[in-house]
């Protein structure tokens, strides 16, 4: 039935946010397209083999053309091999990053995009 998942993020500045995800978080730009009102849309993924991807859309354009859509930012949790290493990489690139939190056999941390939306990442402790 379904073959892939795209998570739609509605942002004020899709271009700025796309640069954040590619330049600072390390995602790959898979596609640049058009959204409503000739706004740009970006498809991003952690890597070329990822099963899920992010699609960035202009929030105002979506609100205008699809007022029934919930524009809230979803709570996303990404997986990585080593939370502490990823945290340091994000800090080195100027990203706002919280402290690492241990939860049983897992370590988690969160970070903010340029518009103040927070996302989390996790890894299992060795």
- What are the pLDDT digits (tens) for 42-90? 999 999 889 899 999 999 999 999 999 999 999 999 999 999 999 999 9
Number of structural domains the chain divides into: 2
Q: Which residue has the higher pLDDT, 65 or 3?
A: 65
CA 25 to CA 80: how far, in whole Å? 12
CB-based contact 43:53 (threshold 8 Å): yes
Contact (Cβ atoms closer than 8 angstroms) between residue 122 and residue 110: no
Domain boundary among 45, 65, 85: 65
pLDDT at residue 125 is higher than 90: no
Closest CA to 112 of 28, 17, 1: 17
Query: Residue 71 domain-assigned?
Result: no
Q: Report residue 97's pLDDT band, with 50, 70 and 90 as the boundaries.
A: very high
Q: Domain for residue 72, yes or no? A: no
Which tens digits make up the pLDDT trace of 4-32? 889 999 999 999 999 999 999 999 999 99
95 secondary structure, DSSP code: -
Q: How far apart are the first and last CA of the chain?
A: 37
- Which CATH number does the domain housing residue 39 bear? 3.10.180.10
Domain span at residue 104? 77-124
Q: Based on the fold, state whether residues 15 and 51 are members of the same structural domain.
A: yes
Instruction: Enter the pTM of the model.
Output: 0.92
């Amino acid at each position: 039935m379904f073959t892939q998942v795209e998570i739609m993020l509605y942002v004020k500045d899709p271009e700025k946010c796309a640069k954040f995800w590619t330049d600072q978080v390390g995602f790959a730009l898979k596609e640049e397209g058009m959204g409503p009102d000739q706004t740009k849309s970006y498809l991003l993924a952690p890597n070329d083999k990822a099963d899920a991807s992010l699609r960035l859309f202009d929030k105002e354009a979506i609100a205008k053309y699809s007022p029934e859509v919930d524009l809230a930012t979803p709570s996303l949790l990404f997986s990585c091999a080593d939370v502490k290493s990823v945290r340091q990489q994000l800090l080195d690139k100027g990203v706002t990053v919280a402290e690492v939190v241990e939860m049983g056999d897992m370590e988690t941390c969160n970070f903010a995009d340029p518009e103040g939306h927070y996302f989390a990442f996790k890894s299992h402790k060795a």
